[in-house]
Amino acid sequence: MTRQDVLVTAEELACELAGPRPPVLLDVRWALGAPHGGAAYRAGHLPGAVFVDLETELAAPPTPAAGRHPLPAPADLQAAARRWGVRDGDRVVAYDAVGGTSAARVWWLLRWAGLADIRLLDGGLTAWRDGGLPLETGEVRPAEGDVVLPLVASGRPGMPTVDADGAAAWPAAGVLLDARAGERFRGEVEPVDPRAGHVPGARSAPTTDNLTPAGTFRPAAELAARFAALGVDGAAPVAVYCGSGVTAAHEVAALASLGLPAALYPGSWSQWSADPARPAATGGE
């Protein structure tokens, strides 16, 4: 993948929306502590955008054994994509109001399910507004789509994952990145999961450091330098986790924009910390 495969600017998207077959727009308004973005969506969203509920459409029900946001069943994801109006051959663009850190969940899921033409609006809703581009209110209910997700048809995922055992072993031969805030990695606070700390051997790489103060992805050279400092230079395999597999997807997207593949640990810390047999490291960076 390249940066153009992962991101689209507001100006570029506006041109595509004026074309003969505009992309399907997905509004993924969600944030930790504010998971219900429907009201914000209805108050103002990109023209034609469909609201996507991260809690119910982009995750299976939570359990201690699987974490707070387990991967949805492929057939359930396909049914959701059809509700969003996605048809075979459609381009898809996802956005949010938090720099892509929640929209990256649907970006990753649809790529995991085998769709290649899914991008993130760089800078999200803020970039669109700052460009003087229009919003609309209310709710969009598209006609049912007919997309067939390749994962449903073949059973072969398009993006790699790792389980808890794989995450435990990963640092011995590769780089395991923890995309949560530094204070959570160090075990100083833990607002939502059973225990504080991190997977032993992981390196702290907060997702927010992928972004500029304006909420856009940092330039490629800056991102490359950031990840190189963490030991990610293409020489060793990379895996990423976070609290529940949401913001880690943003880190996977940032790496993908540099042509660096990375596996995602979907259960992440919410699954790991619920298992008393799994060790929790603290401190470090």
**Per-residue pLDDT tens digits for 44-103:** 999 999 999 999 999 999 999 999 999 999 999 999 999 999 999 999 999 999 999 999
Q: Which is the catalytic residue, given 32, 59, 110, 242?
A: 242
CB within 8 A of 122, min separation 6: which ones? 7, 8, 9, 10, 100, 216, 217
Helix, strand, or coil (residue 274): coil
Strand order in the sheet with 203-204: 203-204, 175-178, 238-241, 263-264
Share of the chain above pLDDT 90, in %: 96
Per the CB < 8 A criterion, the answer to whether 2 and 259 are in contact is yes
pTM of the predicted protein model: 0.96
| Mean confidence (pLDDT) of the chain | 96
Which superfamily does CATH assign the domain made up of 3-154 to?
Answer: Rhodanese-like domain (3.40.250.10)
What pLDDT is recorded for position 91?
97
User: What's 164-274's CATH class?
Assistant: alpha beta
Q: Cα 238 to the chain's mean position, in Å?
A: 16
pLDDT reading at 205 higher than 90: yes
3-state class of 26 per DSSP?
strand
CA 115 to chain centre: 15
CATH topology agreement for domains 3-154 and 164-274:
yes
State residue 275's pLDDT score.
Answer: 97
* Residue 8: φ, ψ to 5°: -135, 140
pLDDT of residue 202: 98
Residue 34 pLDDT > 80: no
Ordered strands of the 118-121 beta sheet: 7-8, 118-121, 92-95, 24-27, 50-51
Instruction: Please name the residue ranges forming H helices in the chain.
Output: 3-6, 10-17, 38-43, 54-57, 74-83, 103-112, 124-130, 150-154, 164-169, 182-185, 220-229, 247-256, 268-272
Query: Model confidence over 164-177: pLDDT tens digits?
Result: 999 999 999 999 99
pLDDT tens per residue, range 233-255: 999 999 999 999 999 999 999 99
- pLDDT band per the 50, 70, 90 thresholds, residue 12: very high
Token pair for 284: 């470090």
Whether the CB-CB separation of 152 and 254 falls below 8 Å is answered with no
Q: Report the pLDDT averaged over residues 164-192.
A: 97
Number of neighbours of residue 227 by Cβ within 10 angstroms: 24
DSSP H or E segment with residue 118: strand 118-121
Question: Using an 8 Å Cβ cutoff, are 117 and 92 in contact?
Answer: yes
In 140-177, which positions are buried (b, 16+ CB within 10 angstroms) versus exposed (e)? Answer: bebeebebebbbbeeeeebbebbebeebbebbeebbbb
Q: What are phi and psi of 239, to 5 degrees?
A: -135, 155
Kindly tell me if the per-residue pLDDT of 262 is higher than 90: yes
Extents of the domains making up the chain: 3-154, 164-274
What confidence score (pLDDT) does residue 114 get?
97
Does 15 qualify as catalytic in the annotation? no
**pLDDT greater than 90 at residue 30:** no
Instruction: State residue 36's pLDDT score.
Output: 78
